[in-house]
Structure 1
Amino acid sequence: MDTLLYYKEAKNGQILEEGITEAGSMCSFIAAGTAYANHGINTIPFFIYYSMFGFQRIGDLIWAAADMRCRGFLIGGTAGRTTLAGEGLQHQDGHSHVLALPVPNLHAYDPAFAYEIALIIQDGIKRMYVDGESIFYYLTVTNEPLPMPAMPTEGNVREGVLKGLYRFKASTKSDAKLRAQLLGSGTIMFEVLKAAQVLEEKYGVACDVWSVTSYKELYRDANDCERWNMLHPGEAAKVPYVTQTLKDAQGPFVAASDYMKVLPESLSKWVPGQLVSLGTDGFGRSENRAALRDFFEVDAKHIVLATLGALAREKKISTDVVKRAVQELGIKPDKLNPAVS
């Protein structure tokens, strides 16, 4: 019987089911991830765990892994503040990607689709075990059963997935007077797609949808460009990937994720336009996914409202449209702030 709960050893791979012992499991990960140096054996460890119990609980061991030039994949399961229904503030993770920012040789991704995960892992194996880079990876994955689309055929999707940003879906309404750019990550990408449909059908706003697979990659690249430009005065300035990619996009940018608002806001100086960030600052709650996303204001209706508000600030629509939308969408404007309530 071959299942994840049945333990057996094999020369071509092992599954270690260590139970609720993140520190011990991380030590196993480090042992496997440094075997290339200590024993001359390349192993590819995958440590799969509740994402809340990674950086928050064993951050010092993750830092030690980085210091030891460990290689492998940390997989934060049931990730995001709203994907794990019913388990409350102890289990709902909305900040592990923020805690991943300081680790210099860690590449952190919040993929939305199966093909994104495949591309990231494929490239990670090549970089670590073919090119010999001393890096390791953090991927967040969810537990929500959702339909997975095929990889788009237009544009350099592979490059965008690995660098952190690409256009997943362009609006077909080329003659629309109102335009907006919606940025989604992880499970909240599906709320973004719903919002785009509502904005186009009900409010006449043509929306391009962008997948942000890694705010950390975009942040690191932008700062690399800034540093190079500072040290090379008089030479042609380097332009951050996020700026290059979005330079022709029209309208405000609205970014929504299952993590803290500071992630999109970390890119604000390099986004060529107004950026509105929606995120899940605050403690988790024991509720279903729809209620959690409403509470944290990252569901489709709040993305719609944020987009209309941004268009009003740019004088593209009147504030009366936004006021009506509050009523039409069933939003409670006087509800408590989820970040502190």
Structure 2
Amino acid sequence: MIDDADATPAVRQLQVIDAKVLRAIEKKLLWLACWTVHNANHLRQKDEVKVGGHQASSASMVTIMTALYFAALRPQDRVAVKPHAAPVFHAMQYLMGNQSLENLQNFRGYGGAQSYPSRTKDVDDVDFSTGSVGLGVGITAFASMVQDYLHAKDWAAPPQEGRMIALVGDAELDEGNIYECLQEGWKHGLRNTWWIIDYNRQSLDGVVREGLYTRITDIFRAFGWQVEVLKYGVLQRAAFARPGGDRLRAWIDDCPNAVYSALIFQGGAAWRKRLMDDLGDQGDVSRLIDSYSDAALAQLMENLGGHCLETLAEAFAAVDHDQPVAFLAYTVKGWGTPLAGHKDNHAGLMTRAQMERFRDSMGIREGHEWDLCEGLEVPEADMRTALSRVPFFADGPRRYRADRVAVPAVAAPGDAVISTQAAFGKVLDALAKSDSALAERIVTTSPDVTVSTNLGPWVNRRGLFARQDIPDTFRDERVPSTQKWRFSAAGQHLELGIAEMNLFLLLAAAGLSHALFRERLIPVGTLYDPFVSRGLDALNYACYQDARFLLIGTPSGVSLASEGGAHQSIAAPLIGMSQDGLAAFEPAFADELAVILQWAFDYLQRDGEGDPDERTWLRDETGGSVYLRLSTRPVEQPGLEMTPARRQGIIDGAYWLRPPGPNCEAVIVYQGTVATEAVAAAGRVGPDRRDIAVLAVTSADRLNAGWQSAQRQRANGNRSARAHIETLLSGLSRDATLVTVIDGHPATLSWIGGVLGHRTVALGVEHFGQTGTVADLYHHFGIDHHAIVGALDQLSAGRPIALAPL
């Protein structure tokens, strides 16, 4: 442990804890983090798979997290912790009483503290989930933008402006989404954001390339960030001030990363030999090196800026503005442990023998490893008093709630022929005209496809958001345009560049505004449906945090026929079905869309228990996000009455567009815009097959989820449990056949045949599309009404189904 000055002005300025106590916390966090991982891997009963836990990656973050949480942070600040520093985070929360000993002892075990900090799985006060590297970094920038948005509105005052802080592994900076985020932040005038980079110069597989820090600092400065390089601790700076110190500093600056790491692992004698070989017999510098013992020399060379409380405290205290700051803190991976510096230490674990020596060096008695003050020189009463006065933790857990926003009735447009995408635009436009609380809380965003996803009317009425006004130059110059692109603090649309990862990170941040900032937002994001896949990691990340948003994927399928395969989606319905925390719908008609939107605006705000609804066996009271797959294909509207049963069926996932009769031989099951083909096929079958039913599926996702849940209920003894799809199909003869059809992957609906054991033919799109008309592509993929009729005829004749050639 570094034992520099007992109390410094910067430390005294930043916190109410005595410097000696602060260093005791640093020591305790290092011990607890390492012991937690050791306990999980060597002491606790486990199976044959390694548990892991990243002792070395945790050790490099200990001093940074001590200085940050116990000295610099305020309750309104929010932090995304480097995933591999989870043991330090849990240890810190354990000290503060926010994490249980049982959970710490069960780290990475069933029901225990999570491998990586999780808002939804951990009991301690996690601000942002991390785990998929890079995403926890980026969300802090978007959370800061959301905070700016909230503070610009004339609502009940959100909490005092806080800093959104990311603790960043240097290897995380290889992630491309970081740089997409930097550019978006620059465009939006990013504020109140700190990224603290743990520059230990090691990654999973080795040591980072020489000179990387200059590239990192250049990039941040190019985007308007202040950059603070924290390379030397107070011990090193003191040595540099002595005769010969300038030569020592030059040697440190020139030393390759791999060599520095290897010498740290080898220790004081190796340091002495290398330094004397390179700098010996040069008078002052030789005397400087000779003045240190081997142990003191090793301590000096490891006293980098990221392991010096005084250096970190001074740097954090010096920031007196709201501009974004990147702190590049030089650290040692495995600092303070037997693993320090070794290139294989990322996933390495201390052996039992190493841990015994480490425990002895920490002054920890066997059997007292979890005690608060074991091995410390600070009395327990003093430690508890000091911890109770830490500003960041003073208000307890900061999981806020916000009132739910009333949802008015949502009416469908009255057009006889309209696409679901156009209908969505008209619904939002109608909301924009209103003075409802819901309209006030909606914030829209899109990755440079605002107009082509039909957000234009909303934006024209509600405006684009920026903290300072930006005029619409074309309008001021009297150039005719259908779009009104005026930015102001009153605007309700956040304009993004073409980067789907940024879209989902912004939706994640805005979708947590009620929990982070006590203000409810209803985020609505639109993008081209095939490009959901481009941001899938960030979408999954947003759902894992339980962020709440409405996602509009449009245009979908092959219906944007002239754009070709690059703009046609195939797998998106399966993504909607498999993504946890996301209820996926694909309405065919405008009135279905209106019902779903009204339900979705309420569903986004629910926060109930997970008990399933015994009518559908869906866990609707928990709420979640919603994904709508919409189309640009204009469809004739059916003009059906919106009965309570039909409305409920739309929400539950399906309803009978054409109910089965007593002698029903076949059912056409469709989802989405191919409704036209299903209806046409039902009307064109031969005179001997008139009793054809048509099942309108609005959400294969919810149908499947309810069916899976009902099966689990029956397996657990509730023999009466029935899912909605089981109820719908219950009146059919087992000899009836199903033909499913979708403008997407056929597996989306093919499972329905397995519900009650009906023979099924699944039509859909499995391969990349091409240009042409909708009729061309529907024929090409065998999803037009001719293909459906052909499938029905072949089923009737008992012949094997011959699908359309591709």
Q: Does 1:45 align with 2:531?
A: no
Alignment of 1:64-143 (within 5 A): 64-80=541-557, 82-129=558-605, 133-143=622-632
* Structure 1: unaligned runs, 5 residues or longer: 314-318, 324-332
d(CA) in 1 for partners of 2:497, 2:630: 19
Rate the CA distance shift 1:194–1:204 in 2: closer, same or farther, 3 A: same
- Could you tell me how far 1:164 is from its partner in structure 2? 0.9
Counterparts of 1:143-154 in structure 2, within 5 Å, are: 143-153=632-642
The structure 1 segments of at least 4 consecutive aligned residues displaced by more than 4 Å after TM superposition are 1-5
**1:196-235 alignment to 2 at 5 Å?**
196-199=682-685, 204-232=689-717, 235=718
Q: How does 1:1-341 map to 2 (within 5 A)?
A: 2=461, 6-9=485-488, 11=490, 14-54=492-532, 56-80=533-557, 82-129=558-605, 133-153=622-642, 156-170=645-659, 179-199=665-685, 204-232=689-717, 235-250=718-733, 251-313=736-798, 336=805, 338=806
Q: 1:335 to 1:225 in 2, by over 3 A?
A: closer
Task: Kindly provide the CA deviation profile for residues 6-30 of structure 1, in whole angstroms up to 9, marking residues without a partner as x.
Answer: 243464x612332422222222222
Q: Tell me if structure 2 keeps the 8 A contact 1:247–1:272.
A: no
Q: Secondary structure at the match of 1:17?
A: strand
CA–CA distance in 2 between the matches of 1:206 and 1:334? 23
Cα deviation, 1:86-142, whole Å, max 9, x if unaligned, reads 222211001111122332211011111111111112112212225564510110000
**1:149-190 alpha-carbon deviations (Å, 9 max, x no partner):** 33435671122111111101247xx69x77421111111111
String of CA shifts for 1:230-283, please: whole Å, max 9, x gaps: 122xx4342222111111135311111011111112233204522221111111
Whole-angstrom distance in 2 between the partners of 1:143 and 1:334? 26
* 1:240/1:270 contact within 8 Å kept: no
With normalisation by structure 2, the TM-score equals 0.37
User: Distance in 2 between the 1:334 and 1:280 partners?
Assistant: 11
Structure number with larger C-alpha Rg: 2
Q: How far did residue 284 of structure 1 move?
A: 1.3
CA distance in 2, matches of 1:190, 1:271: 27
Residue-pair matches, total: 312
CA deviations on 1:175-229 (whole Å, 9 max, x unpaired) are 9x774211111111111111111115x6643222111111111111111111111
Q: 1:36 to 1:153 in 2, by over 3 A?
A: closer
Aligned counterparts of 1:179 and 1:335: Cα–Cα separation in 2: 23
The answer to whether the Cα contact below 8 Å between 1:79 and 1:141 also exists between their aligned partners in 2 is yes
**Higher relative contact order, structure no. (Cα contacts within 8 Å, ≥ 6 residues apart):** 1
Summarize the Cα distance change of 1:10–1:181 in structure 2 as closer, same or farther, 3 Å threshold. Answer: farther
Change (3 A) 1:296 1:7: farther
Q: Is the 8 A contact 2:664 2:693 kept in 1?
A: no
Change (3 A) 1:170 1:221: closer
Q: Is the 8 A contact 1:8 1:15 kept in 2?
A: no
Say which structure is richer in helix. Answer: 2
Letter of the 1:83 partner, please give it.
Answer: S
Cα distance, 1:253–1:125 mapped onto 2, change above 3 Å: same
TM-aligned CA distance change 1:334 to 1:225, over 3 Å: closer
Cα gap change, 1:270 to 1:335, in 2 (>3 Å): closer
d(CA) in 1 for partners of 2:590, 2:497 = 27
**What percent identity do the matched residue pairs reach?**
25
Contact 2:664/2:732 (CA < 8 Å) preserved in 1? Answer: no
Q: Is the 8 A contact 2:782 2:803 kept in 1?
A: no
For the Cα contact (< 8 Å) 1:229–1:238, is it kept in 2?
Answer: yes
* Cα distance in 1 between the residues matched to 2:484 and 2:671: 31
C-alpha RMSD over aligned residues = 2.5
The one-letter amino acid of 1:95's match is A
1:52-94 C-alpha deviation (Å, 9 max, x unpaired): 001x1111000110111110111000111x2111222211001
Give the whole-Å Cα distance in 2 for the aligned partners of 1:136 and 1:125.
9
AA in 2 matched with 1:108 = A
Q: Which amino acid aligns with 2:605?
A: Y
TM-score (norm 1): 0.84
Matches of 2:716 and 2:804 in 1, distance apart?
48
Counterpart Cα distance in 2 of 1:279 and 1:334: 10
Does the residue aligned with 1:142 lie in a helix, a strand or coil?
coil
